[in-house]
A = this chain, B = another copy of it.
């Protein structure tokens, strides 16, 4: 984010981050949601990535590990988002072991069930990834 000509809007900055970790995200969101909820894809990219992930002060890999931690601890319905963010975290340079470690650690804060379900979600993702490359 130290370019000499920084992107001008939050939406631009968000698109730059998304291009790095999940290039097709905005188009996929737009196709699925914008018909019923105009502007949804832009809203998410602008806010989550342009206004938050694109900020200076913390590197992207640590940001993604923190997100995995939070989604694990929150548990509940955040399963799909945990999976997507595990992929983003790997794309940002985290190792599988680092992700499993941070998930397990959440047993202190979100309880043992939250951690076990997070571990299961990660194991499923890793299996699916390995099946694709086998």
Contact = CB atoms under 8 A, between A and B. Distances in A.
B52 A107 contact: yes
Contacts of A116: 80-81
B110 A111 contact: yes
Interface in A73-132: 73-81, 96-98, 100-102, 104-114, 116-117, 119, 123
Q: In terms of DSSP, what is the predominant structure of the interface of chain A?
A: helix
A102 B36 contact: no
A41 to B, nearest CB: 11
Given A37-B119, A98-B57, A114 B10 contact: no
Nearest to A104: B37
A16 to B, nearest CB: 16
